[in-house]
Structure 1
Amino acid sequence: MILPALAFFCVGLHVGQGDTRGPESLPRPSISAWPSWMVPVNSEVTLQCSAPTGEVNFVLRKGRNSVKSSASPDSPEGNFPSVKFPFPDLTHSDAGEYTCEYYRRMSPSIRSPSSDVLLLVVTGYLAKPSLQAHHRGLVTAGENVTLHCQKPRYITDSHVFALLKKGTPTPIQLHSQRGKETDFSLQSVTVSDTGNYSCVFYQPHPPFWASGPSDHIEVWVTDETESDERAGTLGTTEIIPIVTCASLFLLAAFLLAAFLFIYKSTCCGAARNRKTKRYHSSKNPEVVTDASPAMMSSFPALDEGSQESRAEEPQGVMYAELNARALSEGPSNQMAQSLETCVYSTLKT
Structure 2
Amino acid sequence: MPVVLPIVLYLGLHLAQSTQAQNGYLPPPVITAQPGSMVLNNKPVTILCQGPPEAAAYEIHTEEEPEPRAGRKLLVAGKTRTLYIQEMKPDRTGLYRCSYQSGGHWSSLSDSLHLVMMGSYDKPSLSSMSGTVVTSGNNVTLQCFSRIGFQAFILTKQDAPQFTKRQSSTAQDKGQQATFHMDRVTSTQAGTYRCYGAFSKDPYVWSHASDPLQLEVREAPSDPTPVEPKHPQATDHNQTQNHHGILIGFPVAIVLLLLLFLLLFFILRHRHRKAKNNATEAKRQPQEVEPMNGLASEARDPQDVTYFQVAFNAPTHGTASAPSLLPKPAQASEYATLMLR
Greater Rg over alpha carbons, structure: 2
Task: Tell me the TM-score normalised to structure 1 length.
Answer: 0.44
